[in-house]
Each structure stands twice: as C-alpha cells, then as structure tokens.
Amino acid sequence: MLMQTAVITAGGLGIRLLPQTKSIPKEMLPLRVKEGNYFRLKPISQLIFEQLYKFGIKEFCFVLNKDKKVMQDHFSISEEIETRAMGKYEQYIDLVSFHEMIRGSIISFSIQREPLGFGDALLYARGFTRGEPFILNAGDTYIPDSRHIERMNSVWKKYKPSALFVYNETNNNWSGKGIIMGKPYDEDILLVQKVIEKPKEFISRKAVIAQYMFAPEIYKAVAMSKRENGEKQVTTGIQSLIDSNLDVLAIPYKKAVVDVGTYNEYAEWITKVIDVI
C-alpha cells in the first residue's frame, strides 16, 4: 500500500444545482445505497470517505469553499447526536460506525479562497500531502465498486507512473468532460497521450473519472498551467506531465459512475438504489 493520504475537493459553488445547493453543498446531497442487506441514505462525500477509509487511507484533506462549514460539521464527532440516536438501533449503529472512522482518521480542512477550478482547489492540499503520492477524488463523483481502487493500486505499484486514473466510455456527453486519447500499454492499460477538458469537437469517447493517483509532480504542473475560462484544471496539469515525457496511465471502468455535478445526473441517481461493493 503506497498511498497514505487522500484529497477530496468540494470547492465549487454548485451553480448548476441551484436552488438546492444554496445552503446544502452538492457534496452533501444524499444518495440511496444498499450495503449488504441494509438500505441507507448517505451524502456522496461520506460514501467517498468511507470507501477510501476501508481501502486503508487514514489521512484526509477536504478542500472546501468558505460557505461549506456544514461539511466540517458532518465530518466531526457529535456525541450529543450519538446519544440521542441510541433508541434508533440501525441509525445508531450507522452513526457510531461513521464516528469510528472519523476517530481513526486525521482529517484536515483547507479553505479555497475563490472558486477558481478543480486544479486550483488541488493546490490548497500541497502542504498536506508532504511530497508523497496521494489520491485525489472530486467530492461529487463516486465509483460504487471499490475493487477498482485495488486495481489502481496494483497498477501504480507495478508501473510507478506520474499519474493514474480511471476512464469510461461515454456515448453522447463527451463535450462536458475531460476526454483522453492514448495507445495500448499493457493488458487493458492505456498510455495517455492527450487529455482535453470539455473539448468543443469530438476526439474520443474515453472520459476521465475524477478519481486519481498522483505523484507530487502534479502540483508544479497544475500551478504552472494557464487558466481556462478563468479556472485551473487538473487535466491541463496532466497534459503538462505528458508533454514532459512522464508516464500517465488510465484503466477502464465499465460500470456506472455516480456524478451529481448537474441536475440531470443527480435526478437520475436519486431515483436509484446504489449497490455498494
């Protein structure tokens, strides 16, 4: 296990989900999940946190904007609520389990001064990761099948790239995502040769999923990259790594990915029960 730390970003304003996100961050929007034989209602950021914790990550940095104090409250211990929940067996067990994960973690919060993009949010975690490889997960994107993390970890350990992420094949929404092109590397691994954020013209159906493993070189690459439409993008930093002849790898994920970044995406998922594996 090489990764010790995870960065979870939640700096955006959630404009595309207003008015729901006026007071509730999109990363706190609930999803219906099935864990074993039990059904639950959990915020997407908690599902991300729990998945990474069970994988072995114990140090977390949440990058928030100044209006998302509710997330700091959620990822803190509330003994009063724990006591009041004792009469509700299932809810009490769930809350105690979540609190134990919080107690077993080192959790930091970094406040992004302005909503200047995913890449800008990443830069606020630089001191936290201490020059070591780390996982980056957008707080509005969740992959229910946790076995993909084990696969990512094995690929990372074997090939030691500068960046590694998951991609899936998108049918008709390629223009709103980070899109990649590449060539076969080994087995089903792709050596990424080009990554473009929200391309205006069709280049590929391979879309980036916002969960990454990075070497610390990504910080310099993102910091030196130009803003696009006023924002710094992680994908621009990744392209800089590629242009510097550093290996960037991607592996496919063929199941559905939960993304609550837009109204249509969240409306689709709130009607479903997500089977957590």
Beta bridge partners of 38: 35
Nearest CA among 214, 157, 152 for reference residue 188: 152
AA identity, residue 226 = K
Tokens standing for 274?
Answer: 């997500």
Strand partners, 163: 214, 248
Q: What does each C-alpha distance from 130 to 5, 118, 126 come to in angstroms?
A: 10, 20, 7
CA–CA gap between residue 65 and residue 10 (Å, rounded)? 7
Q: Which domains does the chain have, with CATH numbers?
A: 5-275 (3.90.550.10)
d(CA 273, CA 276): 9
Give the per-residue pLDDT at 48.
Answer: 96
pLDDT at 174: 64
Kindly report, residue by residue over 138-176, the tens digit of the pLDDT: 999 999 998 999 999 999 999 999 999 999 987 766 666
**Cβ 225 vs Cβ 233: under 8 Å:** yes
The answer to whether 184 touches 190, Cβ cutoff 8 Å, is yes
Residues 6+ away with beta carbon under 8 Å from 173: 207
Calculate the dihedral angle through the C-alpha atoms of 153, 157, 163, 165, rounding to the nearest 10 degrees.
-30
Q: Strand 206-214 vs strand 163-169: parallel, antiparallel, or unpaired?
A: antiparallel
Position 237 scores a pLDDT of 95
Q: Are 213 and 185 in contact (CB under 8 A)?
A: no
- Average pLDDT by consecutive 10-residue portion of the chain (277 residues)? 85 78 87 86 95 95 88 88 71 87 96 89 94 95 92 95 92 74 92 90 87 96 88 93 96 90 85 86
Using alpha carbons only, give the angle 266, 269, 273 rounded to the nearest 5 degrees.
Answer: 150
Q: Report pLDDT digits (tens) over 186-210.
A: 989 999 999 998 888 878 889 999 8
Angle at alpha carbon of residue 84, lines to 82 and 90, rounded to 5°: 70
Q: How far is CA 5 from the centre of its chain?
A: 13
User: Residue 91: its pLDDT value, please?
Assistant: 79
Q: Which H/E stretch holds residue 66? A: none
